[in-house]
Structure 1
Amino acid sequence: MQPNPTLDQLQVLVTVAETGSFSAAGRKLNRAQSVISYAIANLEEQLGMKLFERDGTREPQLTEAGRATLEDARRMVAMLQRIRSRVDGHRQGLEAEVAVSVDMTLPSPVLVRVLKAFEAQFPTVTLRLYIGSLGLILDQVIDGQADIGLGGMMSEAADVHLSRIGLYSIVPAAAPGHPLALLPKPVPLEDVREYTQLVVTDQSERTKGRDFGVFAYRTWRLTDVYTKHALMREGLGWGGLPRWLIADDLASGRLVELDLEPYGETRAPLYAMHRADRGPKPAAAWLIDEFKRRLGCFNEFEPGRMAEDEPDTTHQSAP
Structure 2
Amino acid sequence: MIGSLTLDQLRVLVTIAELGSFSAAGRRLKRAQSAISQTVATLEGVQGVTLFDRSGHRPRLTDVGRALVVQARFILASASRFEAVAAGAREGIEPELAVAIDPLVPTAPLIESLRALRDAFPHLPVSFSTEGLRGAERRLRRGEAALAFCLLLPSVPEDIVALPLVEARLIPVVAPTHTLAQLGRAATWADIEEHIQLVLSDPATPDGASYGIIGTRVWRFVDLGRRLDFLLAGLGWCRMPEDLVAPFLKNGRLVTLRVDEEPSASTGTLTVYAAHMRARPLGRAGRWLLDDLRTRFGMPVSLNGLQGW
TM-score per shorter chain, which class?
A: 0.7 to 0.9
Assess, with a 3 A threshold, how the Cα gap between structure 1 residues 42 and 159 changes in structure 2: closer, same or farther.
Answer: closer
Q: TM-score, normalised by structure 1?
A: 0.74
Assess, with a 3 A threshold, how the Cα gap between structure 1 residues 83 and 142 changes in structure 2: closer, same or farther.
Answer: closer
Give the structure 1 partner of residue 87 of structure 2.
88
Aligned-pair Cα RMSD in Å: 3.6
Q: Are 1:288 and 2:258 counterparts?
A: no
- 5+ long unaligned stretches in structure 1: 297-306, 310-319
Once the two structures are superposed, the pairs formed by residues 105-184 of structure 1 within 5 Å of their partners are: 105-115=104-114, 121=121, 123=123, 125=125, 127=127, 129=129, 131-133=131-133, 135-138=134-137, 140-142=139-141, 144-154=143-153, 155-184=155-184
The residue type paired with residue 50 of structure 2 is M
How much does 1:144 deviate?
4.5
Q: Deviations over 1:46-84 (max 9, x none)?
A: 44425154744xx65434443222112212222332333
- Structure 1 distance, partners of 2:148, 2:290, is 9
The residue type paired with residue 187 of structure 1 is A
Secondary structure at the aligned position of 1:279 is classed as: coil
- Structure 1 distance, partners of 2:88, 2:2, is 35
Give the structure 2 partner of residue 313 of structure 1.
none
Secondary structure at the aligned position of 2:171 is classed as: strand
- 5+ long unaligned stretches in structure 2: 301-309
Q: Are 1:35 and 2:68 counterparts?
A: no
Assess, with a 3 A threshold, how the Cα gap between structure 1 residues 188 and 3 changes in structure 2: closer, same or farther.
Answer: closer
Give the number of equivalent residue pairs: 293
Secondary structure at the aligned position of 1:172 is classed as: strand
- Structure 1 distance, partners of 2:82, 2:125, is 11
Secondary structure at the aligned position of 1:231 is classed as: helix
The residue type paired with residue 272 of structure 2 is L
Q: Deviations over 1:107-143 (max 9, x none)?
A: 344445555555663646362635132x554455356
Give the structure 1 partner of residue 231 of structure 2.
232
State percent identity of aligned pairs.
Answer: 32
Assess, with a 3 A threshold, how the Cα gap between structure 1 residues 2 and 115 changes in structure 2: closer, same or farther.
Answer: closer
Assess, with a 3 A threshold, how the Cα gap between structure 1 residues 262 and 285 changes in structure 2: closer, same or farther.
Answer: farther
The residue type paired with residue 101 of structure 1 is A
Secondary structure at the aligned position of 1:38 is classed as: helix
- Structure 2 distance, partners of 1:54, 1:170, is 74
